[in-house]
Each structure stands twice: as structure tokens, then as C-alpha cells.
């Protein structure tokens, strides 16, 4: 056994003491960490709204186009040279207003000629009629030959026929003279003048239209409805019942005008399963013009109670619809629902919810079923509601600040 010198034994003892003290320090640190309190759990914040319950009327939505009740291609009835255009492009005109004037002089001359022919025919008729009456008196006394009598009778009848032909020719000449003033056949809005002053126009259905004219009020909206809508609502229109329709334009979020079904086609298109429908709307202000896109909804069911929610709160799980409900313990619950039609900006829920349920309308992406949440009550509003947007924006800023502070 080797005995170390005293100085080396002291150094070794000191080293052992240091190791023991280091171990005790580590053990103490571990005990301190184990006894420290756990980090607090962050509870997500979400906006919740109570399901809306109110009485509604069911509607079915469709897309269509506006059509004029009356549309006229204005054409000339007689050929000639245009000497006047009496309207401004796009102007409103009344029935009977003069739109174009064709040079009337040739037709006025034709009227004068027809009047002269009529006067000659009248004179000839008067003479032959008196000559025949004289022959009728003479034939009684056998003072005239039967052949002469027949000739005078035939001359009187021929003159009478010629008189009628002259009268018809004069009437035709007057009609053609009237056609030199091309008037508005209906009241409405006129298009631009396709033929201007100095141009020669032809007549008839094959001629180029001088302009077009469409009526303003009322106006039609045509759309294709499905078979179920026809059976449920539109079949009543054939019995004279007024089926209500509402209309909204492309730049409107709602439906600004109300009307009724004017006509339903006489057959269903078997290839598409739809039937052509025409609704009529008042257009006294002239804001609606033919060709505009129209959103239409057809309805008229009996009012009934329904539950409605913000459509943005509805999620899709494959072929199922669901919402996240916050229960009384502020836990998130998955709830499958059956949805119906839109009522304004809210979606009808047919099954899956009950009055008083609170659903998550903002913050759905941050929570899962079973999570504990901090619920903030808000009104049942939609994404296009400025109050809802401002609320969601302030909530997002608040959450971003909380994350930055942490």
C-alpha cells in the first residue's frame, strides 16, 4: 500500500468535497424546478351568437334577364328620302310622336292624282246612273230595245265599280302619304337613328330598321324554374292566383322590387327539367332596361317559425354541414345540421339546432370540439355587415397583441 504525501492527500480530499457539493447543488436545483408552479394554459377567445328565431316565408332563388314588354323594330312603310329625324338617341317618346319624316311631295302628288280620278269616276257614275234610270222608264213602254237597255245597265254598274276603285286608290294614296311621317307605335325609349337625313330608304319587313323602340314600364323578367317550384308555387298562376316574385340587380345585395308571375310556359323542358317563367315588375322610374341580369326569388308559402344563423358560420364536412356550438360550460361541441334556403343574409337551419344555442361565428379556425373557450357574445350578423367586420378586426388585433406580449 502506497502512502501519499500529506500535501497530495489534502488536494485529493478537496477535490472530493467539490464534487459532493456540486452534486448537492444540482439536486437542489432539480427540487426547486419541480416545486415551481406550472405555466398557465391559454384559453382561446371566440365570438358566439345566439340562434335567431323568427317567422319566415320560403322563397326559391333564380337568375334571369330583363325583357321589354313591347319591342319594335321601326321600319319605313314607303320608300323615299329621309328629310327629318325628330328625336335624340336614347330619348323617351310617347305613342304617336313623329320619329322620322320621309319626303312627302311624291305622295302628296299621288293623292292629288287619285282625287282627280275619283272626281272623274263620280261624274261618270252620275251620268250612267241617270241614263240607266231613263232606260228603265222607256223599257216599260217598249220604247227602247232590250239590247240598249242592257248596255245602259252594264255601263251604270261598271261606272259604280270604277268609282269604288277610285275611292280605294285615293285612300291608299292618303295612307302612303301618312306613312311619310314615321311615328312611335308604342311609348318607350328609342335607340339611336340608324339612318340619317339625306339617305334613301326602302320599305317592307326586309328593309333595314331605322331604329328600335322598347317599352319602359312595366318590364318582364324571364327565368327557368325547376319542376318542384312549378308544382309548389307556379301552378297556381294558371288559376289566376298572384304568385309573388322579388327582384334584385347585380349591384344589389338584397331584393329592391316586388312583382308577380305574369305567365308560365305550356310545357316543361324534359332535357333540363325546367319551365320558362315570366314575371312582371313596375318600372316607372325607368331604371330597369332590357338585357340586365336579374336575381329573382319566387315564393309565397304560409309564414312559419324557423331558426336562422350566419351562413359564414356553417362548415362543410365532406357531404355534411356543421356548426360549432358553445355549451353552458364554455366547451366547443360539434353539431351536424340540415340547412335550408337563404333569408336575406341568414341561412335557415331545418334540423340540428334549437332555440338558445350559441354558435361560433368568429374564430372557428382556432378551436376544436372539446376545447374550453372564452366566449364573447355578439349579434348574429353577416360578413358584409360593417359592424361585424369591425368587431372581427378589433378581435384579431387584440389577439395579435396578446401573442406579442407573451
Q: Contacts by 159-163 with C-beta closer than 8 Å and gap 24+?
A: 159/121, 159/124, 159/125, 159/127, 159/128, 159/129, 160/125, 160/128, 160/129, 162/121, 162/124, 162/125, 163/118, 163/121, 163/122, 163/124, 163/125
Which is nearest to 68 in space by CA: 290, 276, 272? Answer: 290
* 162 in the same domain as 117: yes
For residues 387 and 101, which has the higher predicted lDDT (pLDDT)? 101
Is 159 inside a domain boundary? Answer: yes
Is 172 inside a domain boundary? Answer: yes
Is 9 inside a domain boundary? Answer: no
CATH no. for residue 309? 2.40.420.20
Final residue of a structural domain among 299, 318, 335:
299
CATH no. for residue 119? 1.10.287.470
pLDDT at 26 over 50: no
On average, the pLDDT of the chain sits at: 84
Give 360's strand partners: 48
Is 112 inside a domain boundary? Answer: yes
CATH no. for residue 225? 2.40.30.170
What are the pLDDT digits (tens) for 31-77? 444 444 555 678 889 999 999 998 887 778 899 999 999 999 999 99
Is 225 inside a domain boundary? Answer: yes
Q: How many domains does the chain divide into?
A: 3
Host domain of residue 362: 47-54+304-386
Task: Please state, in angstroms and rounded to a whole number, the distance separating the CA atoms of residues 226 and 269.
Answer: 10
Q: What is the model's pLDDT at position 37? A: 55
Q: What is the model's pLDDT at position 280? A: 95
What are the pLDDT digits (tens) for 349-401? 989 999 999 999 998 888 899 999 989 999 987 444 444 444 444 444 444 44
Is 78 inside a domain boundary? Answer: no
Which is nearest to 222 in space by CA: 63, 64, 69, 60? Answer: 64
Using 50, 70 and 90 to split pLDDT, how confident is the model at 224? Answer: very high
Using 50, 70 and 90 to split pLDDT, how confident is the model at 139? Answer: confident
Sort residue 370 into left (φ over 0), alpha (ψ -120 to 50) or beta. Answer: left
Final residue of a structural domain among 268, 299, 330:
299
Task: Please state, in angstroms and rounded to a whole number, the distance separating the CA atoms of residues 364 and 312.
Answer: 10
Which residues lie below 8 Å from residue 11, measured CB to CB, with a gap of 6+?
none
Task: Please state, in angstroms and rounded to a whole number, the distance separating the CA atoms of residues 404 and 406.
Answer: 5
Task: Please state, in angstroms and rounded to a whole number, the distance separating the CA atoms of residues 78 and 192.
Answer: 21
Final residue of a structural domain among 243, 272, 299:
299
* 344 in the same domain as 318: yes
Query: Distance from CA of residue 374 to its chain's centroid?
Result: 43
Mean pLDDT of 9-16: 49
189-193, 239-243, 368-372, 374-378, range with the lowest pLDDT:
239-243
* 294 in the same domain as 317: no
Task: Please state, in angstroms and rounded to a whole number, the distance separating the CA atoms of residues 225 and 205.
Answer: 35
Q: What is the model's pLDDT at position 244? A: 86
With residue 46 as reference, give the H or E element that holds it.
strand 45-50
Half-sphere exposure for 199 (CA within 13 Å, toward CB): 12
Mean pLDDT of 297-311: 83
* 313 in the same domain as 288: no
Mean pLDDT of 155-179: 96
* 381 in the same domain as 321: yes
* 361 in the same domain as 291: no
Is 8 inside a domain boundary? Answer: no
* 143 in the same domain as 128: yes
The model scores a pTM over 0.75: no
Is 206 inside a domain boundary? Answer: no
Asked if 350 and 338 count as a contact pair (C-beta separation under 8 A), the reply is yes
Give 294's strand partners: 64, 249
13-22, 190-199, 250-259, 363-372, range with the lowest pLDDT:
13-22
Which residues lie below 8 Å from residue 94, measured CB to CB, with a gap of 6+?
184, 187
The greatest distance separating any two alpha carbons of the chain, rounded to the nearest whole angstrom, comes to: 196
Q: What is the model's pLDDT at position 300? A: 62
For residues 29 and 43, which has the higher predicted lDDT (pLDDT)? 43
Task: Please state, in angstroms and rounded to a whole number, the distance separating the CA atoms of residues 312 and 381.
Answer: 10
* 280 in the same domain as 322: no
Amino acid at each position: 500500500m502506497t502512502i501519499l504525501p500529506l500535501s497530495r492527500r489534502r488536494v485529493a480530499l478537496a477535490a472530493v468535497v467539490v464534487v459532493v457539493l456540486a452534486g448537492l447543488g444540482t439536486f437542489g436545483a432539480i427540487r426547486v424546478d419541480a416545486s415551481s408552479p406550472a405555466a398557465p394554459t391559454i384559453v382561446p377567445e371566440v365570438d358566439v351568437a345566439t340562434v335567431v328565431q323568427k317567422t319566415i316565408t320560403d322563397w326559391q332563388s333564380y337568375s334571369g334577364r330583363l325583357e321589354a314588354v313591347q319591342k319594335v323594330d321601326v321600319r319605313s312603310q314607303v320608300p323615299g328620302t329621309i328629310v327629318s329625324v325628330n328625336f335624340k338617341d336614347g330619348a323617351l317618346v310617347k305613342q304617336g310622336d313623329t320619329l322620322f319624316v320621309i319626303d312627302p311631295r311624291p305622295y302628296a302628288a299621288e293623292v292629288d292624282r287619285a282625287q282627280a280620278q275619283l272626281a272623274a269616276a263620280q261624274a261618270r257614275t252620275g251620268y250612267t246612273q241617270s241614263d240607266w234610270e231613263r232606260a228603265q222608264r222607256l223599257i216599260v213602254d217598249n220604247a227602247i230595245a232590250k239590247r240598249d237597255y242592257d248596255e245602259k245597265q252594264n255601263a251604270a254598274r261598271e261606272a259604280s265599280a270604277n268609282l269604288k276603285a277610285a275611292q280605294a286608290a285615293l285612300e291608299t294614296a292618303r295612307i302612303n302619304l301618312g306613312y311619310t311621317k314615321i311615328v312611335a307605335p308604342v311609348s318607350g325609349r328609342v335607340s339611336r337613328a340608324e339612318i340619317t337625313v339625306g339617305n334613301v330608304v326602302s320599305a317592307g319587313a326586309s328593309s333595314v330598321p331605322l331604329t328600335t323602340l322598347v317599352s319602359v314600364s312595366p318590364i318582364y323578367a324571364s327565368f327557368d324554374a325547376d319542376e318542384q317550384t312549378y308544382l309548389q308555387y307556379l301552378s297556381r298562376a294558371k288559376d289566376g292566383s298572384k304568385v309573388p316574385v322579388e327582384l334584385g340587380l347585380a349591384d344589389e345585395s338584397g331584393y329592391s322590387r316586388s312583382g308577380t308571375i305574369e305567365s308560365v310556359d305550356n310545357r316543361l323542358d324534359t332535357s333540363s327539367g325546367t319551365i320558362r317563367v315570366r314575371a312582371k315588375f313596375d318600372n316607372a322610374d325607368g331604371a330597369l332596361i332590357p338585357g340586365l341580369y336579374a336575381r329573382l326569388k319566387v315564393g309565397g308559402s304560409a309564414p312559419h317559425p324557423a331558426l336562422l344563423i350566419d351562413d359564414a358560420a356553417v362548415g362543410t364536412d365532406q357531404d355534411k354541414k356543421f356548426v360549432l356550438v358553445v355549451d353552458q360550460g364554455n366547451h366547443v361541441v360539434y353539431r351536424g345540421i340540415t340547412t335550408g334556403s337563404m333569408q336575406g343574409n341568414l341561412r335557415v337551419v331545418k334540423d340540428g339546432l334549437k332555440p338558445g344555442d350559441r354558435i361560433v361565428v368568429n374564430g372557428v379556425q382556432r378551436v376544436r370540439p372539446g376545447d374550453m373557450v372564452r366566449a364573447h357574445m355578439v349579434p348574429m350578423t353577416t360578413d358584409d355587415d360593417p359592424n361585424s367586420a369591425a368587431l372581427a378586426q378589433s378581435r384579431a388585433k387584440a389577439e395579435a397583441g396578446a401573442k406579442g406580449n407573451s
